[in-house]
Every structure is written in structure tokens, then in C-alpha cells.
Chains A and B, each alone.
Chain A
Amino acid sequence: MTVLALRNVSKSFGPIEVLHGVDLALEPGEVHALIGENGAGKSTIMKILGGFLDPTTGDLLLDGQPRQFTSGPQAEAAGVVVIHQEFNLAPDLSVAANVFLGREAGGFRLDHRAMREGTADLLGQLHSPIDPDTLIRDLSVPDRQMVEIAKALSRKARVLIMDEPSAVLTHREVGALYEQIDRLRGQGVAILYCSHRLDEVAHLADRITVLRDGRVVRQALRGELDENGMATAMVGRELQDFYPPKGHPSDALALQVTGLTVPGEVHGVDLSLRQGEVLGIAGLVGSGRTELAEGLVGLRPASAEIRVNGQPVHIRELRDAFAAGLAYLTEDRKEAGLLLEKDLRVNLTLATLERFGGFRIDTSAEDAALDRAVADFDIRAPRRDMQTGKLSGGNQQKLLLAKTMLPDPRIIIIDEPTRGIDVGTKRQIYAFIRKLADEGRSLVVISSEMTEVIGLSDRILVMRGGRIAGEISGPDMTEENIVRLAMGVSSEAA
């Protein structure tokens, strides 16, 4: 019955063994969730299943027969399709061209119409309004994810391996995704689903495999493991107090912003921030949250009246924001936050090089700073001179946080603090954020994860259509209230 399975698979990179005797079986018509902290070995397993890596020992079984894929396309031909977290889409081609890439319809002459209609049909099944003729580069990140899913659907997969497919999707899109997963399950497709969102795992998975340090530590059927149980199994200890206790902001205003306008994106937003406060900003993707933050720190053309500690400041570019004690941690870690091909030291000091010598860079001072950052933010890197891109997402995020904190800012805006990060690291980052607030710094946390905003913030602003739709605090901070404000359903909580 089993379509694709791993039998006693181990995998070593050089002398280091990262997988130890893993057994995993994917059954048709079943959603199999694979969970574990970053570095637990999930990606290695997905790569072996998808034909991108060979096991060092043990077997990959397809329909019960040992099989070796020499490449991804070969696995795809056998019906094993992987949806990667990093999109494999050609940005300059249209949606339809991407969906049919490598299996274009028509003979020598392309049948554009068939491909367009086929794509529209697939996207329709996903309730996505994307036009098949749009270029990928013009699509938002969630839309690209939908295209990636449509592309996988078009492959008529027997086994579908999905790596964090919902990480960048909005609520509604996630709903459509679940619907498709149900449909595929009904058609007898075997699905391997990797996710950090334990609520979604509990909702979707028929079977759960928990990985820790390259071993399978728990396998369970639907209903046998609740979210708390999953987290405990992943981390190996009880996870209590996931979010740190709330703080005690002072009454002194650290930041006052009046009439912040980013042309076309944000319309006259006022906000204030107290010392020692964590202010959450919630809202749907596209509601202007990131644009608000980037306008405030000078990364986008914007106009506003800004006071820091009561003193008016003018911020025209990011340097001005740094000088005023503001810092911004981007949501786009890989494309705007870190130089993935450079080592840790270069990344840490990039925004603050003038603190490390004049024209000449004082490398030993940089190394000392890296030592401190590694200790303060618990950055786990096998080697200092490794490429930052080879760190796990969680360690990248910690490094980015260390980089942001290097100039010792008093006001820190953090956009999506834990996107694509494992549970253990999430908790660490929450603790860092609270610690910074307790030191008297002020923080703005922008997040799409509602539990996160609620768990972290002393107060929440909800954005809709480039404006503040409402403010909630204390016991009013509930998912229901946020959704209402974000969707514009009702103003009762405002």
C-alpha cells in the first residue's frame, strides 16, 4: 500500500551524521505531517524523498521497491513532487508558462491558449484570482506560493511533499489550500506536510512524525497528540509559558508619529509608543504594515511629523533613523536582511561599520562584537566563517536581531519576528523581545501570526487599507477582535 517510504535511512555530510536510521512511510490518501525544530533533519528527509540527495545508508522505497533517483526531475517523473520553500519559479515568465514549464502544451508551436486555460482552471480550484498572463515578478509572495501549488497540482502527483506552504499565505488563501489538500487526499495522493504551525498540523494531519536531532522521536495518529504534546515532543521538554509575561511600560512617550503618509500605501497614520512598551501591529498582508514601518525609518518616501522622546526629528533616509535611535528589522530576512553568501562577521557589522574603525576596519573589534552577539543571542553556528545562508532560519533570525541591536537603538521595529522559525527559537526570540522592553527600550512588533501579536504585545494596532482600523489592549486583545478590525466587519472593539 505504501507509496514512498524510507527504511532505516541515515545521511552523513562528511564526518557528521545528520539523520540516524529514520523510518517513514507515506500512504495514499493520507496527510502525513513532519514536524521538528530547525536542524532536526526535516529538509534532509524532504530532499532524499524528492530525489535531490541520496541516503548514505538505508533505502528509499517506491511502491515497496528500492529505488534511487538521480535527480529531482526523475523523481517528478515517478510522481513525487516537491513544493520548495524557496520558490522555483522563473520571475520573467508568466504564471501559465511557469505552471507548464518543461511540459509545455502544443508541439513545436506552443499552444498558449491551452496552457492559459489549464492554468486558470488550476488556479480556480485554488480560489485564486491570479491572471495566468501575469509575470511572476509582479506577484506578491503569497500569490507566488499559490502558483507553486498550482504547478504541483498540474504535475498529477502521487506523492506531494510540501515545505511550509502556508507560511506566507493569508487566512483566506490558507483556507483554499486546506480545501485542495482535502481534495488531493480524497483522490488518493500521499502528502507529506512540513510546518511550524502546530494548530494547522493538528487540523490537517492524519499521521504525525516528530523529529528531533535527526531521529524519529514520536509517531502518532490523528487525535493522539495535541499542540502542546507536539511541542513537547519536538523540544524534548515541557513548554510552559510560551510567551513571556507582559511588562510594565512607563508613561514617558518614546515615539510620537503624526500623519504618516506613504503615497499609495499608508494614509495619515498616527501612533505613539511608550518607553518599555511592546506595541503590536496586526492586519492582513497588504494592509500597509510593512510600508508603515519602512516609511517611518526612511526606506520609502514618506511624510510625517516624528518626535523621539519629545524632540522633533527629520528622517529622510535610514541613516537619519539610526541617528535618532530607531532600528528596523525587515520581514524579508533573505532578500533585505542578510547577505547570505557572506560570513557572520560581515553581516553583523554591516549597518554599523563606522563603529569599527575609521577608513580601516578593525577586524579584531568585529570579532569581539561577534563573540558578544553569539553569546547574547545564542547564535549556533558550526563555524564563524561559514556562509550565513547555510545557517538555519532561526539562527539567521537571531543574527539579524543581533545586527539590528548592534547600534544600541532605543526604538526597535521588528517586522515578522519569527517567520519560518522553529518553536524553540521562537520562544527564545520572544524572550529577547521582552528583555529589550524591560531594559526600557520600546518595540513595535508587526506580525501575521495573531497568537504571536497577542502573546507579545502590551497594546495592538490593527491596520486595514493603509489606515489604523482600531486599537485594542488588555483583555480585548483576542483573535476575534483582530480579525474583525482587519476585515472591517465591525468597529465594536475599537
Chain B
Amino acid sequence: MTIDSVMTLSNIHMRFPFGEDWRGRPHGFVHALNGIDLEILRGKTLGVVGESGCGKSTLAQVLMGIRKPSEGEVIRNFGADHDVQIVFQDPQSSLNARMPVWRVITEPVFAVTKRPKAELRALAADLAAKVGLRPEVLDRYPHEFSGGQRQRIAIARALSSDPDVIVLDEPTSALDISIQAQILNLLKDLQAERGLTYIFISHDISVVRYLCDEVAVMYLGQVVEHGASDAVLAAPKHPYTRLLLDSIPTMRATGGLGESLSNTDLPSNRNLPTGCFFKDRCELAGVGCDVRQNMVPTEQAQVRCCQTAATTPQKVSA
């Protein structure tokens, strides 16, 4: 089986020093990422989910190459002139209000190489049409647009350097539901047309289910479950994934909410827990949980939990 991966992360660790004593030595480290292994498949969408503070944004920064990991290796399987682009959550602050739209869209191009203005404008017009903006918007300024249109501008900008990978950092969470659907469909169409690879960071499980081929669940800087999104979201194996899915408020929720939300504070990432990171919040915690867990393959996903691995029938080997 050959895996066509566009990026490979192996054992990525990311630590940030905090505080300083009088000699400039840090008081300690914030452990944002603690050993991430991911294959990012070409032309697919990988969803990254997890609660606030689990390291999703740091992971995005490592993927984009604006932060060097403290440990581990990022392998990029694409040409030097291609790159990773990003679409941010908040289209208010991600577009410079002092630039006309055509400049915003083509910034990834003219930031790197000088191009004639006519060429940039033509590129902007082309991309604007692709993302469903009318050509007369090009000379306006970003504040004249609604959230959904601004997000279209941000997507056009991400496309302008013809990237292989686009990181989508909660691109729809600041938008109305109806606009969300439009943007998601636009993203899907663009992916089909251009063979883009998406890394989709989100809180919204239903959006992940709609858009993503694979999903990686993060907890305290680790991936705790990774597999096909249908499988993972339909039948979560890791107790944390279950907790995450249970905590989505639904119209049909009948009790159980209080139970699953009990003891739900994320442990400090300054002093990492010993043993399994999740054991203090885990209902399955028991023998074997006081050692660090490794990813274990199960039927359809990889899970970082010894208990699940032990209780799941090992069909993989069969």
C-alpha cells in the first residue's frame, strides 16, 4: 500500500519557555505539542478537533512553517515554489483594512516577487470569480463586505500562490449558519477542482463530519484518536473522543450531560501528568494507565488508550 502524503509530521514536540529568573533562565515550559505523528494525505481533508488549549493552533503554526518545532521533523513532499496557506477564523482581523481587495487577494504573490500590476489584477479577478465574488469588488476595501464575503476574499488570497495545502483555522465559526454552508460547499468545490489538501481545525463536529475524510482528535498536545472521520465520529474508541462527542448539545439530549462534563478541566500543560494524559478525567482509568500510552491500531482508527485496545476485538490482525 502506498500512501501519497503531502506532509509528514514525526514526533513533533513544541515547548514554549515562560517566565524568567534574574539570569534569564525560564521558570519552566509550556508543553504545547507532545509528540504528534501525522500523515497528511494528498487531496484529502484532515479534521483536527479538540477543546481550547489542546494545541490545535500551535499545530497549525508548525504546519505553516512559521514555528520551528522544538523536537521532531516535518517533511514536505511538494516543490519549493508551492507552499501552505491559511484561512483564519476571524475575517475581520485577517484582512488588512488599508488594502484594496485585489491587493489583499494577491498579497501572497507580490509579497514574494515583484509582478506588474496588471498581472496581479488579472490574477485577482480570476480568483475572485472562482470564489464567487463579482469583479467590481476588486477596488473596494475589506470593511465594505459582510463576514461571508470577507471569508471568500480570505480563501481567494489563500489560493493565489497556488498552494498544495491550506490550513483552515475554524473558517466558518464566525459566520451565520446559512453562510457557513455556502463557504463549506465552496471549499469542497475548490478542492475537487484543484486537488487541494485541507487541514481543517474546528470545534464543530457536524462541520467536520461534512467536510473531512479523516479526523484527528487532539488532547493536551497529543493525537489521541486518528482515523476515517465516519468511523471515528460514529463509533469513537478513545474515552476522550466520546466525551467530546457527548458534550455537543443536541435537541434530543436526554440526561447524561452532567455526567460527561464532570471533571472536565484540561490539566495544566506546564507540568504534564504522569502516565496517560487523560487518566484523571477518564472513566475507564485502571491498571496500566500510569504509563505513557502509544497509538494502537484498532479496527478503523488509531487510538492512544490501552484500555480500549485491550477491550476491542483485534480484527486488524485477522
- The judgment on whether A and B are partners is no
Interface residues of B (CB under 8 A from A): none
Interface residues of A (CB under 8 A from B): none
